[in-house]
Amino acid sequence: MNNFPSVFEAINDLSKDQIEGLLILARKFKERDHDKPQFPNKLPIVANSFLENSTRTKNSFAIAIKRLGCHYLDFNTETSSLNKGESLEETLLTLYAQGVDLCIIRTSVSNQLSEFKNNTPVKIINGGDGTNQHPTQALLDLFTMQEIGIELEGKTMAIIGDCIHSRVGHSLCELLPQFGCNIILCGPSDYVPKTPEYEGVEISNDLESTVKRSDFLYTLRIQKERHAGSTEAAKHYDTYHDKYGISRDKLKAWNKEVPVFHPGPANIGVEISTDIIKSSLYKGYDQVVNSIYMRMAIITAILSNNDKNIGIIDGTRIRD
C-alpha cells in the first residue's frame, strides 16, 4: 500500500485505493491466507496508549498486535509520567527512543493527534479522539457490511442516535459515501447537526420515515460523558427509547427487519432493545470479530510504510 500515512487520524487521511487495500488485506488475514510472518527481519514494538476507557478497541488492537507476532507494550497511562505533567509529545518521543515503532492512542481530546502529522514522534493510529474520529471502527464496519453481503452502491444507511457527539458517526460519514452509500443521521434535534456537514448525508428527526427509507441501520449510544451537563442533551434521556430506540416491534410494524449495527458499548433498553441484540438482525458481534482482522491490516500497512521522518529532533533521528 503506497504512502500509507504515519499518523492515521481520520478516514480522510486515506485514499480510496488505500481503503480498498486494507479491505483486501483484512480479508486475507481472516481467511488465514497470510500466515507467513509479516515482519521477518525485526519484530516491531507496538504500544497501546489508552487515555480514555475502552473494551473493544483496546483489546482488539492488543490481540491484532499479538496475532501479527509484534512485541506488545501495554502503556499504562494512569501510572505514567503524563500524570506528572509530561506532554503527550514528550511521552511519545520517549517511547520512540525506547524502541516503540507504533502507538495506538485513544484520547478524550478531539483533534489532539493533528499536531503530530508534521513532526511525527512515533507512528500513530487513532483509537478514537473525543467527538472527532474513530477511523478504525468505521473501516471494520465497512469490512463487516461487505462481508455480510451488503452492496453499498445506491443503498441508504440510517445512523440513529447521538450523532453530534459520535466520533464513529463522523468517520462513517467520511467513509461510506465513497462507496456510494447514502446516510441519514436521525435523532432528536439536540443529537443531530442542524445542516448536513458531509456530501451524501442528510438529517432527520423522524425515526419511522427514516427507517422505512433505509436498507440497514447503525445505532449509537447516548454519549453522556460528552454532554458536559448540557440540559438540552439531557432532556431526551428518559424518552429516548420510546421515540428513537430500535426494537423488534418497531421494525416488524414498519416491515423493515433489516441488519442492525452498533459499535458498542450498547445501552440495552435505550438505543437498542434486548430482542434486537439477541436476534440474527444484530451485527454487533460480527463487527467485534472483524475488528481483529481490519486492525491487523491497518497495523501492517502503517508499519510497512518505510517513513524515515519519525522521531527527528533538530534534523537528526533520535534512533535508527
Q: Which residues bind ligand CP (CB under 6 A)?
A: 54-57, 128, 134, 137, 263-265
- Least Cβ distance, residue 137 to ligand CP (angstroms): 5
Q: Distance between CA 89 and CA 86 in Å, rounded?
A: 8
Classify residue 62 as exposed, middle or buried by CB count within 10 Å of its CB (0-12, 13-18, 19+): middle
Q: Which is nearer to ligand CP, 27 or 262 (CB)?
A: 262
CA dihedral for 112, 115, 116, 121, sign (positive or negative): negative
Smallest separation, CB 127 to ligand CP (Å): 7
Residue nearer to ligand CP on the CB measure, 34 or 134: 134
**Gap between the Cα atoms of 176 and 23, Å rounded:** 13
Q: Residues 188, 210: contact at Cβ < 8 Å?
A: no
Q: How far is CA 262 from the centre of its chain?
A: 12
Distance CA 254, CA 160 (A): 16
For ligand CP, give the closer residue by CB, 263 or 311.
263
Q: C-beta of 106: minimal distance to ligand CP in Å?
A: 7
Min. distance of Cβ 34 from ligand CP in angstroms?
Answer: 25
For residues 267 and 249, give the distance between their C-alpha atoms in angstroms, rounded to a whole number.
18
Smallest gap from residue 314 Cβ to ligand CP (A)? 37
Q: Between residues 200 and 264, which has the closer beta carbon with respect to ligand CP?
A: 264
* Residues 6+ positions from 36 with CB-CB distance below 8 Å: none
Q: Would you say 225 or 249 has its CB closer to ligand CP?
A: 225
Which CB sits closer to ligand CP, 76 or 119?
A: 76
- Minimum distance, C-beta of residue 244 to ligand CP, in the bound complex (Å): 20
- Between CA 166 and CA 262 the distance in angstroms is 12
